[in-house]
Amino acid sequence: MSIFNEFDLALKAIYQQAVEDERLIQNPGTQRLKRISLEEPEVVETLYGNVVARTEPASRAKPHTRNNIDSPFNQSEFTLLAQARKALAGQQLICIDVLVRQDDDQAVTARLMVPRRFAHIAYGGAKLFGPLVKDVTDPTYQVIFFHDEAWKDNAEKPLAEKDITIRLIHSEDGRMIKIVRNSSYLGEWKKGVFAGESWRAKVAKEGIFLHAGCRRDCLEMAHGGMETQTSLFVALSANGKTSLTCRVLARNIGEESWLIQDDGGILKRDGSFHGFEQGGIYAKTDGLTPSEQIETYYGALKPDTYLENVHVEPEGALDFFNIQRTSNGRAVIERRDFMHAHRSIVAPEINNIFLITRGPTIPAVARLSHWQATALMVLGQSMESSAGDPSQAGAIKNVFFYDPFLAGNRVEHAHLFHDILRWNPHINCYLLNTGGVGEGEHHRKITLLDTVNILEAVLRRSLEDWEANEATGYLVPRAVRGVDSIVFHPEKLFPRQDFEERQAALYAKRREILESYPGLDRAIVNSLKK
């Protein structure tokens, strides 16, 4: 019997025993889940009528997470399974079954099981994904949470020292089980389904799952006429993906801007995109203001929104700027409460892919060849956030395909991505730096408004004049309306020798990473220049 089948039988036994003991709450409505959640000492109701949960930990627990594809399992994983069965025996459990998507004639479903003590996860989780479904006997993905005596003691420890165990078990036919010990963070449920979708797409060879937001715009072009384009924004958490995916650009008669999907989906071989979160948007709330993110701001205040790790004042007001405990505040905003969320999470055709990065020597925008885009996806250069590893927040890091949940052969993954671009030559690729250029007294912050102006120029086709910048090796614009051109030329903010040394070091590091993947197409490796 395969390890997946052993775990699958064990989880179904936990479920069935709870049914027989009449201690399973199956698919409760959101209002009931809200009432149960408010029984938890870490959950409070705000003056807006929504709830905020204080989770432990306040972020994903990546240092404590492994999967059976990249890390062979041993007896410790079976010990974990035994711990789960023991911890959940006799407890009242909450189970929700949700529809992730309809895959041709087969429904892709996900099951969440949590002890009543963690009801907030089910409350937020039910809002995030598709409708609840009945009579599910064999869910595609299963995520189960439990805790033991070490959970409360973890609160005073840094993430790396917490006693947490998280394991993902993938099957050969694209199913997934995730066991979460000693975390009450909703993101583990969301990213469990995320990882399941990523693995399923890989196994089925139907396309590639991307850590990306998706938007559709029908805008008036700079030279007249209306045009509809759909764009993807690929990034790690907290690097500007949601801000750019959700920003409304439409302002003229007949124009429209729609949010398709906030944080992931499958880019299929035919160039279409299929999202996976039908119910809500899981948005970061740190520093949220109506001036910069009006849609997310007012969505976060809706009474049906679930929030976690957001500071609540004694009178029940929300303070999005208070990060004394964490800067990783989150909100699950139902799509119906999000002003311009489209009714569909499927896009028939993708026109643009924007890769979001950070780095003082990288221009604010660059146009990429498909080979360059693939190389930069392999590199996945971005900035760590409090959503990943709070102790490393702000550090520049490299994460393959901007996806910390990826499993399996990386080279095949990269080649399939390039093949999809090759089969869909109309897809344009760009690099966006959403951080800043230069350092010290010569640092120039790239504001959200700068990036939005760049995005609008690309989508309205007013950005047609590109030039080769030998210093950075990219094609950059000569000018963009409303944006200081210095952000396209970071080399001007450094002494010449200093910049050249930095570029040489960056090139060497990139080359080292690309060369570390045996069999990676040489055209990908050689696409980035000094």
Residue 257 pLDDT greater than 90, yes or no: yes
- What pLDDT shows up at residue 389? 56
Which CATH number fits the domain that encloses residue 156? 3.40.449.10
Q: Which of 153, 182, 204 is the last residue of a domain?
A: 204
Angle at 438 between CA 436 and CA 444, to 5 degrees: 50
Residue 459 pLDDT greater than 60, yes or no: yes
* Rounded Cα–Cα distance for residues 89 and 79 (Å): 15
User: In the structure encoding, which two tokens stand for residue 219, read together?
Assistant: 């805008």
Residue 392 pLDDT greater than 60, yes or no: no
Assess whether 465 and 389 both reside in one domain: yes
Nearest in space to 174 (alpha carbons), one of 143, 195, 188, 189 = 195
Sign of CA dihedral 316, 330, 150, 121: positive
Q: Which of 181, 204, 227 is the last residue of a domain?
A: 204
Q: In this predicted model, what pLDDT tens digit does every residue of 264-278 receive, in sequence order?
A: 999 999 999 999 999
User: In the structure encoding, which two tokens stand for residue 392, read together?
Assistant: 């490393």
Assess whether 131 and 226 both reside in one domain: no
468, burial (CB in 10 Å: exposed 0-12, middle 13-18, buried 19+)? exposed
Are 367 and 430 a contacting pair, CB within 8 Å?
A: yes
Residue 400 C-beta-side C-alpha neighbours within 13 Å: 16
Q: In this predicted model, what pLDDT tens digit does every residue of 28-66 receive, in sequence order?
A: 999 999 999 999 999 999 999 999 999 999 999 999 999
Mean pLDDT of 393-419: 88
- Structural domain includes residue 483: yes
* Rounded Cα–Cα distance for residues 134 and 136 (Å): 6
The percentage of the chain sitting over the pLDDT mark of 70, rounded to a whole number, equals 97
- Structural domain includes residue 524: yes
Assess whether 189 and 257 both reside in one domain: no
Q: Which of 204, 224, 258 is the last residue of a domain?
A: 204
- Structural domain includes residue 311: no
Which CATH number fits the domain that encloses residue 235? 3.90.228.20
- Number of domain units in the chain: 2
Written as one letter, the residue type at 447 is: T
Are 422 and 370 a contacting pair, CB within 8 Å?
A: yes
- Structural domain includes residue 442: yes
Q: CA gyration radius for the chain?
A: 23
Assess whether 460 and 489 both reside in one domain: yes
Is the peptide bond preceding residue 57 cis, with omega within 30 degrees of 0? Answer: yes
Q: In this predicted model, what pLDDT tens digit does every residue of 166-197 receive, in sequence order?
A: 999 999 999 999 999 999 999 999 999 999 99
Q: What is the domain range of residue 200?
A: 3-204
The percentage of the chain sitting over the pLDDT mark of 90, rounded to a whole number, equals 89
Assess whether 83 and 216 both reside in one domain: no
On average, the pLDDT of the chain sits at 94
The continuous run of DSSP H or E covering 477 comes out as strand 474-477
Nearest in space to 282 (alpha carbons), one of 248, 322, 237 = 237
Question: 241 pLDDT band (50/70/90 cuts)?
Answer: confident
- Structural domain includes residue 310: no
- Structural domain includes residue 118: yes
Are 155 and 142 a contacting pair, CB within 8 Å?
A: no
Residue 390 pLDDT greater than 70, yes or no: no
Residue 148 pLDDT greater than 90, yes or no: yes
Is this prediction's pTM over 0.85?
yes
